């Protein structure tokens, strides 16, 4: 929607983020990490015979660890927030970790590239009598650019009875217990475009207000207030009943397969990483009866990586049999990080960022069982990468149903923080992979942005069979945002915007079809299913552009969709149909969705 559009009242249809460059980088904050052991020198890629790399060690200066007796906690939280509040494309990266116990009178305001988390096995081990807040004062009450931040594994007792978490994409709220309500809108109910909740309990009401879309998975809520365009629930006790499109609720009783994100915790004075077990037909939180189910690894089995280490060093650590813990900061990757061993964990803290150098693919996973990728950001570099993340090599065919690979809170960005190009961002070749919450974004604002400047044709390409996506956000690609070629794929919740900056109709012409679909199922696919999928267009460079449809799929009984919508934002471009030749066109400047409840 136009930047001059009025701020909506609660529950009204609202526009999308304005195209605006964001603030400058923040300087690093010199703070202490309260962790177990000092860092030891790592071998370098240039040594003739590299020494064995150590496991464990300290977590570096940008992991800030508190316990209830730490003096000046609020002042430290405020220092980080001052740096990160508007540093949308800055270099600061922070993880704020709270040891088990009770903390009183805190308001942890969470800015860009900041993660806050408890260090207990259960959220209720770490209680903050106070708030963990995201608002949009830095952007005049518009929350549509509140990206790249997270909250995890804490219990909150909000001061007012309701905690505010007004976020957009790439801002997960995981394993949280809110002993009260949760407000997902900014102060003043300005524009908002989120979001994701998983494995959380909100005792009171969740109020999305102006949030356009939201996905909640395997959680428990007291109640849910309203919906704008697309609110999706799977495995959520207390969720509203299925009622799409009015109200726009898509509700699945269970999530077919899920496995929660790995997380760091303290066992006495020892850091460990917990690996939750896989659940089928999941419903509700994993921690409701105390200790969650799963296994854990000591930190000594991880190479604790610091910004500046090379891809060669990371690969040496993996070859030694270590897992990877990426501490906050930026890592330049000039060759693929190769995850070849079954069960390997690659866990990022504080939005650790892997940047492609010289056209490299940042990370490649072999066709093996049970790899867990979680909690990091991948940036394209100025030299085009053919791909940025590959899960399984081409032709992967092994059955991983008993122990799938999971990709969770792994976010991909092309442009915005600087020049970047990638033909395809994320390729999933391994069978049974679970992609649980991702935002794959070709930047529409920031640095290095333009139709050919940050060229990126495809967002997510799925070639593997039996892949499940829960919480799939993919936006602004030059061609297909999602291309799905594998059999028996499933997606629960999809959010998309087509690229704003297409110069003309010819630039997005897919043969004889007007515009590339946001989500295309390949012609040879015979079985596929999706629930709660939305695509929006905002062709502000050339508002005359027409999208024939948002979704394209074979017209066959085994390919099924439930609760689809397309929206034209302020009449900047239009859709002729929702899926294939089905669904009414959008028209005029209305932001009223065109919907299809069931297809075929």
Cis amide leading into 600 (omega within 30): yes
Q: Which residue has the tokens 């609720």?
A: 249
CB 67 within 8 A of CB 100: no
Distance CA 553, CA 462 (A): 14
Q: Is the separation of the CB atoms in 464 and 428 below 8 Å?
A: yes
Distance CA 582, CA 271 (A): 54
Select from 19, 239, 56, 283 the least CA-distant residue to 144: 19
Rounded Cα distance between 255 and 480, Å, is: 27
Q: Cβ atoms within 10 A of the Cβ of 295, count?
A: 11
DSSP letter string, 105-159: EEEEE--TTEEEEE-SSSGGGEEEEEEEEB--GGGTT--TT--SEEEES-EE--T
In 3D, which of 384, 330, 323, 390 has the Cα closest to residue 359? 384
Strand partners, 273: 264, 297
User: Smallest Cα–Cα separation from 471: which of 175, 233, 278?
Assistant: 233
User: What number of other Cβ atoms are within 10 A of residue 298's Cβ?
Assistant: 13
Closest CA to 569 of 533, 598, 545, 599: 545
Structure tokens at 542: 């050339």
Residue 294: name the closest of 123, 122, 492 by CA: 122
Question: Is 529 one of the catalytic residues?
Answer: no
From 152, 260, 497, 576, active-site residue? 497
Of 250, 193, 252, nearest in space to 596 by CA = 250
> 81: helix, coil or strand?
helix
CB 148 within 8 A of CB 170: yes
Q: How many CB atoms lie within 10 A of CB 566?
A: 30
Q: Other CB atoms closer than 10 Å to residue 456's CB: what's the count? A: 29
- Across 392-544, the runs of DSSP E, i.e. the strands, are 406-414, 422-428, 434-442, 458-462, 468-475, 482-484, 489-497, 509-510, 513-514, 519-521, 528-537
Task: Specify the 3-state DSSP secondary structure of 299.
Answer: helix
Strands in 363-365's sheet, in edge-to-edge order, are: 337-339, 363-365, 385-391, 422-428, 458-462, 482-484, 519-521, 551-552
Catalytic positions, written as ranges: 497
């Amino acid at each position: 929607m136009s930047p001059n559009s009025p701020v909506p009242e609660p529950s009204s249809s609202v526009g999308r983020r304005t195209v605006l460059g964001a603030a400058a980088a923040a300087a690093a904050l010199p703070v202490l990490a309260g962790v177990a052991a000092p860092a030891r020198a790592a071998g370098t890629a240039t040594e003739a015979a590299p020494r064995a790399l150590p496991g464990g060690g300290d977590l570096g200066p940008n992991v800030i660890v508190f316990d209830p007796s730490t003096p000046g906690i609020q002042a430290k939280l405020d220092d980080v927030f001052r740096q990160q509040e508007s540093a949308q494309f800055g270099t600061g990266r922070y993880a704020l970790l709270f040891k088990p116990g009770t903390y009183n009178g805190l308001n942890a305001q969470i800015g860009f590239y900041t993660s806050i988390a408890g260090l207990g096995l259960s959220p209720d081990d770490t209680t903050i009598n106070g708030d963990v807040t995201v608002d949009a004062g830095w952007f005049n009450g518009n929350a549509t650019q509140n990206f790249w931040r997270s909250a995890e594994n804490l219990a909150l007792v909000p001061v007012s009875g309701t905690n505010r978490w007004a976020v957009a994409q790439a801002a997960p709220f995981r394993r949280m217990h809110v002993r009260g309500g949760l407000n997902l809108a900014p102060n003043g109910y300005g524009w908002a475009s989120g979001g994701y909740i998983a494995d959380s309990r909100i005792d009171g009401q969740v109020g999305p207000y102006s949030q356009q879309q939201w996905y909640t998975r395997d959680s428990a809520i007291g109640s849910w207030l309203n919906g704008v365009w697309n609110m999706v629930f799977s495995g959520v006790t207390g969720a509203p009943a299925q009622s799409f499109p009015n109200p726009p609720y898509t509700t699945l009783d269970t999530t077919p397969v899920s496995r929660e994100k790995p997380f760091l915790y303290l066992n006495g004075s020892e850091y460990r990483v917990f690996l939750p077990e896989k659940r089928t037909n999941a419903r509700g939180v994993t921690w409701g009866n105390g200790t969650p189910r799963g296994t854990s690894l000591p930190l000594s089995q991880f190479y604790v990586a610091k910004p500046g280490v090379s891809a060669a060093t990371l690969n040496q650590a993996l070859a030694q049999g270590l897992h990877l813990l990426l501490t906050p900061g930026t890592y330049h990757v000039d060759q693929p990080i190769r995850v070849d061993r079954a069960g390997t964990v690659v866990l990022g803290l504080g939005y650790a960022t892997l940047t492609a150098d010289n056209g490299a693919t940042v990370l490649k996973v072999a066709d093996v069982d049970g790899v867990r990728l979680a909690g990091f950001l991948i940036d394209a570099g100025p030299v085009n990468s053919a791909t940025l993340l590959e899960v399984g090599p081409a032709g992967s065919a092994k059955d991983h149903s008993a122990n799938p690979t999971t990709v969770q809170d792994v976010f991909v960005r092309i442009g915005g923080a600087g020049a970047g190009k990638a033909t395809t961002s994320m390729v999933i070749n391994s069978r049974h992979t679970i992609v649980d919450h991702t935002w794959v974004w070709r930047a529409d604002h920031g640095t290095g942005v333009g139709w050919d400047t940050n060229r990126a044709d495809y967002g997510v390409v799925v070639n593997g069979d039996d892949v499940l996506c829960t919480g799939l956000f993919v936006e602004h690609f030059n061609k297909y945002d999602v291309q799905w070629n594998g059999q028996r794929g499933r997606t629960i919740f999809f959010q998309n915007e087509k690229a704003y900056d297409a110069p003309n109709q010819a630039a997005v012409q897919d043969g004889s079809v007007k515009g590339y679909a946001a989500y295309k199922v390949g012609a040879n696919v015979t079985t596929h299913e999706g629930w709660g999928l939305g695509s929006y267009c905002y062709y502000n460079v050339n508002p005359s552009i027409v999208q024939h449809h948002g979704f394209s799929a074979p017209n066959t009984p085994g390919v099924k969709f439930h609760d689809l919508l397309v929206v034209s934002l302020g009449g900047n471009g239009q859709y002729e149909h929702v899926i294939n030749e089905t669904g009414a066109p959008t028209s005029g400047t209305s932001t009223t969705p065109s919907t299809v409840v069931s297809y075929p």
